[in-house]
């Protein structure tokens, strides 16, 4: 589950999802339960930890409050150095999520991640990943690292959400009469 802002209903969402898994996936042996780990991937601006609410209960009862283990990963806490230990694709996703709110302050990190993408991924996968990141970063990546998009092959024949948004913006610009 990914969250970009605080959500006090996250624990109820996780409980419902776990119940869904129990009911639909293990009808024959539900008594064994599902060895589950829920991971909340958070990239919001504010500090937020819904698991802290569990600390209000006695330590002996805390492990019974959720029918699964739960981990919060706040991408702000992932160091730029640790990105080197991840594959290029995962490093790119974490970098984009971590710096979505202010990518200008992390140009050097983006530059290193982009170099890895070009070195480690096949060209078609690299370009797709760049476009995905650019959509997520609302065009910032292309505006600041245009050279990363210049590759010696034809892009696949489909439009991304970002392509459609850029086309719509161009149409809006043409439709607005100038004073």
CB atoms within 10 A of CB 122: 8
The pLDDT score that the predictor gives to residue 150 is 78
CA–CA distance, 138 with 93 (Å, rounded to integer): 14
The pLDDT score that the predictor gives to residue 108 is 95
Beta-bridge partner residues of 72: 40
CA–CA distance, 120 with 117 (Å, rounded to integer): 5
The pLDDT score that the predictor gives to residue 4 is 79
Q: Are 147 and 114 in contact (CB under 8 A)?
A: no
Provide the phi-psi class of 57: left if phi over 0, else alpha when psi is between -120 and 50, else beta.
beta
CA–CA distance, 73 with 55 (Å, rounded to integer): 18
DSSP state of 84: G
Which DSSP string corresponds to 134-168? HHHTTTHHHHH-GGGG--SSPPPS---HHHHHHHH
Helix ranges, the chain (H): 10-25, 59-62, 88-99, 107-120, 123-136, 140-144, 161-175
What global pTM score does this model have? 0.67
Structure tokens at 12: 């109820």
**Cα angle: 118, vertex 119, 122; to 5 degrees:** 70
Each residue's pLDDT expressed in tens, for the chain with a length of 179 residues:
677 788 888 888 888 877 777 766 666 554 565 667 788 999 998 889 998 988 898 988 887 787 778 899 999 999 999 999 999 999 999 999 999 999 999 999 999 999 999 999 998 888 889 988 998 999 899 899 988 887 654 556 677 777 788 888 888 888 776 66
């Amino acid at each position: 589950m990914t969250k970009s802002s605080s959500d006090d209903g996250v624990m109820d969402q996780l409980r419902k999802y776990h119940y869904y898994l129990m009911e639909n996936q293990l009808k024959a042996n539900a008594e064994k339960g599902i060895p589950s780990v829920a991971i909340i991937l958070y990239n919001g601006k504010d500090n937020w930890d819904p698991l802290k609410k569990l600390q209000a209960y006695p330590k002996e009862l805390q492990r019974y409050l959720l029918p699964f283990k739960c981990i919060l990963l706040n991408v702000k806490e992932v160091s730029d150095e640790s990105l080197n230990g991840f594959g290029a694709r995962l490093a790119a996703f974490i970098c984009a999520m971590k710096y979505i709110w202010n990518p200008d302050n992390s140009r050097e990190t983006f530059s290193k991640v982009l170099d890895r993408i070009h070195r480690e991924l096949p060209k078609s996968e690299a370009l797709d990943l760049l476009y995905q990141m650019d959509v997520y970063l609302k065009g910032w990546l292309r505006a600041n690292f245009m050279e990363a998009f210049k590759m010696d092959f034809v892009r696949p024949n489909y439009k991304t959400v970002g392509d459609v948004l850029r086309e719509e913006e161009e149409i809006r610009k043409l439709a607005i009469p100038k004073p």
